[in-house]
Structure 1
């Protein structure tokens, strides 16, 4: 084996471009614990209607509604001599995916648009679409595979030109990101997903908690939030995290709808990469 090493795999170039692009971020990290009893009860109750809802679907559903109430956090920043901040007109969730491309395990992501208006079932159909699909043949990832075929320097420039403009940032990166490693023995982790708010989802563990003065066992999930300090401050981020926690702990769904796959959604123009620390699977 050569002491000089080997070039990074072509299938991971997009991740390296992405990591270079987010160097301007000023991330700050928060975390909390969520009692997932209500979510798991709903998941159990609807299991007989088809495939069960993914836990990340509940997080996407709750977070989208909270971000709609916090337009300051549903925004993006661009640095430079005159820093700019743009509030997004929609709430679009970025979901990370643990996929195989060209025979290599890679992390990809998909943007799910207008989630603040989408039902839980609608969000789940999109999650299934991306979780089940082959990125080598899906039209949503065609631009990504073309990017990987470009020479490295040209690819880096092309990546920046596509993702940097604020006016199209939501379609490329989403307005918030959700990534999960809870399918493995990971309690919690923090990641910067190219959005002002990124949520990291850990595993659910049965733990003792106090309810009404009594100790009971409850399913507890660690929920982490990374925010870009250029856009919002800690108090706003704390409000967002607290309200997402409350949305999950008090989860109710007025009209759950059929939990079954539907036709594929319109292609997301950008399924942009994520940090290699976020190789999660929808669960």
Structure 2
């Protein structure tokens, strides 16, 4: 016979996030990215003894795309008199799994201003968050504090901290990015608490047509979830297309 058990405190932030995210009804779009040039860039970095993940390339590309379309870098504050907050900076929140109190939980790396950072600086932040244990990571100090709070108080604190759009973008990003590295999983449709969220799939060799010929290229599906209350589909499609174009034609250092 089944029984109730306590909700894991290590996942309390996800619970608080989902309660807030229910206010957003995101629309999703999906595109396919040719990662041939990204693979070439990875090999160049590897020859210099540096590993750069596809996720770092994607974060950089999305940040550049959002800088090109600043009208998408906004947050809607929902109330009886809704207001739109225009952000003056691009911030990314990269999500990944980490061991927290003996179990797996999704945590996040804050990457401020990735449109102005070089690729290796982004990768350095990602490596730090991935390699540093949850208990020792200074960037997760606020998360550890939230986990120690009673659920009712954590819910109030989370709502208070993310209430103002500027602070929400600092905490939860102008956009979020995560990647599902299971080759059979071709897409995941994310929930969001801000305006833009991206999910990349694993890289899979895929037959595509180029110049009338079928060739095999490394490809990634990229899903965008966007808040239709904030932006229209045309602008969302332009942002997604520009992100893909930058990755397709990668020419950054």
Q: Settle same-fold status: TM greater than 0.5.
A: yes
Say if 2:176 is the partner of 1:177: yes
Match of 1:16 in 2: 15
Residue 46 of structure 1: SS of its match in structure 2? helix
Deviation at 1:126, TM superposition (A): 1.0
Match of 1:147 in 2: 146
Q: Please say if residues 31 and 224 of structure 1, whose CA atoms lie closer than 8 Å, have aligned partners that are also in contact.
A: yes
Q: More deviation in 129-138 or 240-249?
A: 129-138
Q: Deviations over 1:80-139 (max 9, x none)?
A: 101111111111111002100111110001210011111111111111111111111112
Deviation at 1:167, TM superposition (A): 2.7
Match of 1:234 in 2: 233
Residue 45 of structure 1: SS of its match in structure 2? helix
Match runs of 1:204-215 below 5 Å: 204-215=203-214
Match runs of 1:101-140 below 5 Å: 101-140=100-139
Residue 20 of structure 2: SS of its match in structure 1? helix
Deviation at 1:185, TM superposition (A): 3.4
Count matched residues. Answer: 253
Residue 220 of structure 1: SS of its match in structure 2? strand
- Distance in 1 (CA, whole Å) between partners of 2:34 and 2:166 is 37
- Distance in 1 (CA, whole Å) between partners of 2:50 and 2:120 is 11
- Distance in 2 (CA, whole Å) between partners of 1:29 and 1:170 is 20
Q: Please say if residues 188 and 203 of structure 1, whose CA atoms lie closer than 8 Å, have aligned partners that are also in contact.
A: no
- Distance in 1 (CA, whole Å) between partners of 2:245 and 2:232 is 20
Match of 1:59 in 2: 58
- Distance in 2 (CA, whole Å) between partners of 1:62 and 1:183 is 22
Match of 2:70 in 1: 71
Q: Please say if residues 173 and 195 of structure 1, whose CA atoms lie closer than 8 Å, have aligned partners that are also in contact.
A: yes
Q: Please say if residues 109 and 125 of structure 2, whose CA atoms lie closer than 8 Å, have aligned partners that are also in contact.
A: no
- Distance in 2 (CA, whole Å) between partners of 1:206 and 1:138 is 36
Q: More deviation in 104-113 or 142-151?
A: 142-151
- Distance in 1 (CA, whole Å) between partners of 2:20 and 2:202 is 29
User: Unmatched 5+ residue regions in structure 2?
Assistant: none
Match of 1:266 in 2: none
Deviation at 1:209, TM superposition (A): 0.9
- Distance in 1 (CA, whole Å) between partners of 2:166 and 2:3 is 42
Match of 1:202 in 2: 201
Deviation at 1:14, TM superposition (A): 0.9
Q: Please say if residues 21 and 193 of structure 2, whose CA atoms lie closer than 8 Å, have aligned partners that are also in contact.
A: yes
- Distance in 2 (CA, whole Å) between partners of 1:184 and 1:110 is 24
- Distance in 2 (CA, whole Å) between partners of 1:167 and 1:96 is 20
Deviation at 1:183, TM superposition (A): 4.8
Match runs of 1:186-197 below 5 Å: 186-197=185-196
RMSD: 1.2
- Distance in 2 (CA, whole Å) between partners of 1:195 and 1:69 is 19
Residue 72 of structure 2: SS of its match in structure 1? coil
Q: Please say if residues 75 and 196 of structure 1, whose CA atoms lie closer than 8 Å, have aligned partners that are also in contact.
A: yes
Deviation at 1:184, TM superposition (A): 5.1
Q: Deviations over 1:41-75 (max 9, x none)?
A: 11112212223211000000111011011112111
